[in-house]
Chains A and B, each alone.
Chain A
Amino acid sequence: MNQPSSLPGGANSFRSQPDARGHFGQFGGRYVAETLMPLILDLEREYRAAKADPAFAREFEYLLRQYVGRPNPLYYAERLTETVRADAPPGMGAKIYLTREDLNHTGAHKINNCIGQILLARRMGKTRIIAETGAGQHGVATATVAARFGLPCVIYMGARDIERQQPNVFRMKLLGAEVRSVESGAKTLKDAMNEALRDWVANVHDTFYIIGTAAGPHPYPELVRDFQSVIGREVRANILAAEGRLPDLLIAAIGGGSNAIGLFHPFLDDPDVAMLGIEAAGKGLDTTEHAASLTGGQPGVLHGNRTFLLQDEDGQIAEAHSISAGLDYPGIGPEHSWLHDIGRVTYESATDAEALDAFQLLCRTEGIIPALEPSHALAAVGRKAREMRQDQIIIVNLSGRGDKDIFTVAQALGVAI
């Protein structure tokens, strides 16, 4: 049986990154225009001060509890486990738990980070909020906290994503945000991020950019990870309460990777806990239509950090593809690039079709409609659980609920709504 264990801190820890300059090994950093650099340094100072301020932690925890609805349950997916065991070799089929980030206010893990960042924005005296969004979950979460704190909010969203995520666009508008359609490039998340950066550089004096994933220039990857690590801390307490031991495997879907790093980070120094990140393989890794930056990309510099990117031999960024708008990004958070590089976390992928199958399987076995993003993680659960013994434990981050995706899924299944 696995027992909770941890490496000593400092150099022997996987949890002491990034360094003072925001580097995770060769990844991360602050690759931004000079105009933004002083602001990034301010943000880092303010974040250090906030981290040392018990009042900041108290307010963050209060809002997570009373507004977001945390802590979340760790749910034993009994019927999913039985279904997997039904066609597994004798004695095989690990016990599958889901950590229910889909139960958060606004329906996904994104809100954890938004609460933390808007508290920082307020500390810094910023009076205007901007954000980019792909699936719209981060946009909704940002619009939500902006409404809660009474700040004007502009959300940049690719025109193509606006088309496939209409319900979330309407939600953002109901919450008082202005949604600006981005027409450049492939009109998805990457282009929305370019446009948000253009807004930010022109409005540095009063604007706070709430980045939605654990990527971008330092200190964003670090602070987003820290805010999302509430996921892993709760999971740790919950699994010890339920099983009296740590899990054997953690699985999470990766776009930028904030839900995954939030789950993984508190366990990085537990050598017996394996971790698996699932990238979006789109129409297949052998096609050009996927979003698997680690499997199909090489290190490069984009959106403020050095990380694995889908790109050509000249460093031009390739368009990503995934049925899930939230995974449709040609990069990945720098800490994942580092964890991949050093081998602490394993990264695989799941295709659109595999995610769709897993989506339907969870609906039917557990009565839970998952978002398409965690459906990629669920796709990997089936194959991993069959290779593991029945006394082993897998925990999957069910990072969001799927109400927003029913139109996309219906279309993929050939159903007219």
Chain B
Amino acid sequence: MSRLATTFAHLADANRAALVAFVTGGDPDPAATPAILDALVEGGADVIELGMPFTDPMADGPAIQLANIRSLGAGTTTAKLLEIVADFRTRHPDFPIVLMGYANPMVRRGPAWFADAAARAGVDGVICVDIPSEEDEALGPALRAAGIDFVRLATPTTDAARLPAVLEGAGGFLYYVSVAGITGKQQAAQTSIEAAVAKLKAATDLPVAVGFGVRTPDQAAAIARVADGVVVGSAIVDEIARAAASGNDPAAAVRNIVKDLAAAIRTARQEKAA
């Protein structure tokens, strides 16, 4: 079983959701990223979503746009990012890590190059914002051949007729983008999230993780009661930005916020039962 499948299965047995924690690779600089990734693990994250910086992050709000600029400004390259993953993998042999980003940096040297390099580094899954199922050919076959899960996104605009196409070739987990919009802005109503997750879970055996606009432990806990995973990104990225700007240790800031989020998620379903 893959690291992602194992992790989600263990968490299901323990009756709790996964905390999927996003940071932009190389933010504020590539040298800082290994300690930040370790802090995510120590703080209690269950899956790391590592953003590949891109010059044109069309689906991201201001927080992650700025993180991309900081990372690229500090000289992050695809090679450096994969090296960071490979080093992480030697420190954390069983911890799932997923790359998230945009199509162009992933297909630049050809999909097979990227899939093989990512697999060698120990990447478990890939999320690509701008490769919908219609363009699966551009990356999907290469990833699956290399044993990497292609994590697909479902959104409030994905209707029932379209969902089977989205799930075709999907792996790892299904990422439900809870708002039609960009990252880190508004949050969806809890009732709409519950209804959407129920519909998705009826259509797939893949775990369903919910993200976009999740910022506080309370929000995370509410989602953790109904979904298999909660994705938090911009709130963590904001902490990194604040720490970097004020000369503090970004890893310590990350550890603190992730601890609070993880604690809320760990007790979410117990509170409901009580």
Contact = CB atoms under 8 A, between A and B. Distances in A.
B154 interface: yes
B155 A303 contact: no
Q: Helix, strand, loop or mixed for chain B's interface?
A: loop
Contacts of B132: 30-34, 37
Interface in B173-201: 177, 179-182, 185
Contacts of A198: 58-59, 61, 182
Contacts of B272: none
Nearest to B62: A184
A34 B56 contact: no
A204 interface: yes
B138 A301 contact: yes
Given A31-B130, A202-B181, A316-B72, A300 B108 contact: yes
Contacts of A205: 180
Interface in B89-125: 102-109
Interface stretch (B8-16, B156-164, B218-226, B241-249): B156-164
Nearest to B114: A315
Interface size class on chain B is 35 or more
A29 interface: yes
Contacts of B155: 33-35
Specify which of B54, B77, B105, B135 lies most central, judged by the most chain A CB atoms within 10 Å of its CB: B135
Contacts of B257: none
Interface residues of A, number: 37
A53 interface: no
A340 B56 CA distance: 25
B78 to A, nearest CB: 5
A194 interface: yes
A204 B56 contact: no
A197 B153 contact: no
B158 A316 contact: no
A337 to B, nearest CB: 14
B65 interface: yes
Nearest to A317: B55
Interface string A34-76: 1111110000000000000000000000000000000000000
Q: Give me the 7 closest cross-chain CB pairs, A-B, nearest first.
A: A315-B108, A202-B181, A315-B105, A301-B103, A315-B104, A35-B155, A317-B55
Given A30-B135, A34-B154, A194-B58, 18 more contacts: A29-B135, A30-B134, A31-B132, A33-B132, A34-B158, A34-B177, A37-B158, A184-B65, A190-B56, A198-B61, A202-B182, A205-B180, A301-B103, A301-B138, A304-B130, A314-B105, A315-B78, A316-B55
